[in-house]
Amino acid sequence: MLGYKCTLHGEVTKMASIDSALSAELLPMPSPEIVAQLRRNISTIHRSYRPRQGQKFPIDIPEVMDLFPGGQLPYGSIMEWFTETHGTEAESLSLRIGWSACLRNRFLVIVDPCFEIYPPGLSQLGIDLNRVVFVHPATKSDMLWTIDQALRCSAVGAVWSYLESLDPINHRRYQLASECGGTVGIFVRPLRARKESSWAEFRLLVQPVAFPAGEIGSQCRRIQVTLLRAPGLSEPIVREVWIDDPADRLLDIQRVEPFQRRYQYQKNRA
């Protein structure tokens, strides 16, 4: 059978043929005008779905910016942060990245049905609460709708939420919504959701690292950040982040390496 496949980028490729002679009679080659018209149509669709394609925002956290290509993240994308439990620094890091997306007076929308995100804690992270809106939906359906609406609004920089479960249909819906609004969807999710199919462009795993007994005197907090998925990423990238406690400032980030070297580095900094 002969057929033609149009890719999203407007390329027309010839598919494998079983009986080329028969197929050629049934499906004649399209004229160059038709191909050109199809390319134009596809390009129009492409542009309409990605109005902010190419717009990126720099990550204000220098220690983790090298995880992402160019230290920047694109608008119109979804990020998923996986963590085993609360208190692993995944929420703080993701919120700070969300705040980085709020350039040019855009707003950060936090969808928190449990009323648990603590504004004084956000203020200590350097987030300006005057440009943060907290939405507290009462039901799951309200929550899903709220995220979709916020992602579609171009006045919003990022939408942050903790999502226990998310079906692929809503995930796809959010991806299209973020493309439409040019916003960033940041979802913190439990570790078990890692196995689910996802439309997220970026997926990260945050794992706390227990502090060795010999380092009790240090004020730093160790976590391991793994970039599981990103455009063009062939294999996961693992980084270790040191956080200066209790002021919650990121102190350093390096690849996982022998502890002695890290200890020496720490001493040098001190």
Partner 1 sequence: MTFSGWNLSNAATSTKKTGHNHASSPGLQEDDVRKRQDRLAEICLRYTPHVGLVEDPHSDSLFLELTDIQHLIPDERRFVIQLLMDCHREGYFPTKIAVADTPGAAWAMTHFGTGPRATEISSAWILPPSESKKWIASLPVEALRIPDLVAEWCHELGLHRIGDLIHFPMAELRKRFGEILVLRLEQLLGSRQEILSPYLPQPQFEEHLWLEYPARSWEHLSPSLSAFLKRLTQQLVSHNVGALGLRVNLLCEDHSAVTLSVSLFRPSIDPHHLSGLIELGFRQKHFSSPIVGINAVVSHVAPLESHQATLFPDGETDWPSSEWGHLLERLSCRLGTARVCYAVLNPDHDPEKAYFWYPCLSHRKSHKPRSDGKALVTKGPRPVRLFRAPIPIQVVTAIPSGVPYQIHHQGQSHHVVRWWGPERIQTGWWRGESITRDYYRVELQNGVHYWIYRCLESGTWFLHGTFG
Q: Which residues bind partner 1 (CB under 8 A)?
A: 85-93, 95, 104-107, 114-125, 128-130, 132-138, 142, 145-146, 149-150, 153-156, 207-211, 213, 216, 221-223, 245-248
Q: Quick one: 31 or 141, whose CB is closer to partner 1?
A: 141
To partner 1, the closest distance from the beta carbon of 117 in angstroms equals 6
To partner 1, the closest distance from the beta carbon of 258 in angstroms equals 19
> 233: which 2 tokens?
């990423």
To partner 1, the closest distance from the beta carbon of 60 in angstroms equals 16
Distances (CA, A) of 55 to 72, 101, 115, 144: 10, 11, 33, 26
Q: Quick one: 10 or 58, whose CB is closer to partner 1?
A: 58
Q: Quick one: 83 or 198, whose CB is closer to partner 1?
A: 83
User: CA torsion sign, 56 to 61 to 62 to 64?
Assistant: negative
> How many CB atoms are closer than 10 A to CB 182?
22
> 39: which 2 tokens?
């390319």
Q: What angle do CA 252, 231, 193 make, to 5 degrees?
A: 80
* Parallel/antiparallel/unpaired status of strands 12-14 and 77-83: unpaired
To partner 1, the closest distance from the beta carbon of 235 in angstroms equals 24
Say if CB 179 and CB 152 are below 8 A apart.
no
Q: Quick one: 212 or 231, whose CB is closer to partner 1?
A: 212
Most distant CA pair in the chain: distance in Å? 80
Q: Quick one: 149 or 226, whose CB is closer to partner 1?
A: 149
Distance CA 97, CA 63 (A): 12
Q: Quick one: 35 or 244, whose CB is closer to partner 1?
A: 244
To partner 1, the closest distance from the beta carbon of 188 in angstroms equals 10
To partner 1, the closest distance from the beta carbon of 98 in angstroms equals 12
Say if CB 90 and CB 206 are below 8 A apart.
yes
Say if CB 96 and CB 127 are below 8 A apart.
yes
Phi, psi of 193 (to 5 degrees): -75, -5
